[in-house]
Amino acid sequence: MENKKHSITVAGLGAGDMGQLPLGVYRQLKANQKIFLRTKEHPAVAELEREGMQYTAFDDVYERHDQFEAVYEEIVEILFREAEQEDILYAVPGHPFVAERTVQLLLEQSAAKQTEIKIEGGHSFIDALFASVRVDPIEGFQLMNGTALKPHDIRTNQHLVVGQVYDTLTASEVKLALMEVCVKF
pLDDT at 67: 87
Q: How many residues in total does the chain contain?
A: 185
- Fold held by 8-124: Cobalt-precorrin-4 Transmethylase; domain 1 (3.40.1010)
Residue ranges covered by each domain of the chain: 8-124, 135-183
Rounded distance, CA 10 to CA 75, Å?
A: 13
State pLDDT tens for residues 8-41. Answer: 999 999 988 888 888 999 999 998 779 999 999 9
pLDDT at 3: 58
Residue 10 burial class via C-beta count within 10 angstroms: exposed 0-12, middle 13-18, buried 19 and up: buried
Answer yes or no: are the C-beta atoms of 131 and 20 closer than 8 Å.
Answer: no
Buried b (16+ CB within 10 A) or exposed e, 39-75: eeebbbbeebeeeebebebbeebbeeeeeeeebbbbb
Q: Which residues contact 97 (CB under 8 A, 6 or more apart)?
A: 103, 119
State pLDDT tens for residues 132-148. Answer: 999 999 999 999 999 89
Q: Is the pLDDT of residue 163 over 70?
A: yes
Average pLDDT of the segment spanning 44-70: 92
Q: Which residue has the higher pLDDT, 4 or 170?
A: 170
Which amino acid, residue 106?
A: L
pTM: 0.84
Average pLDDT of the chain? 90
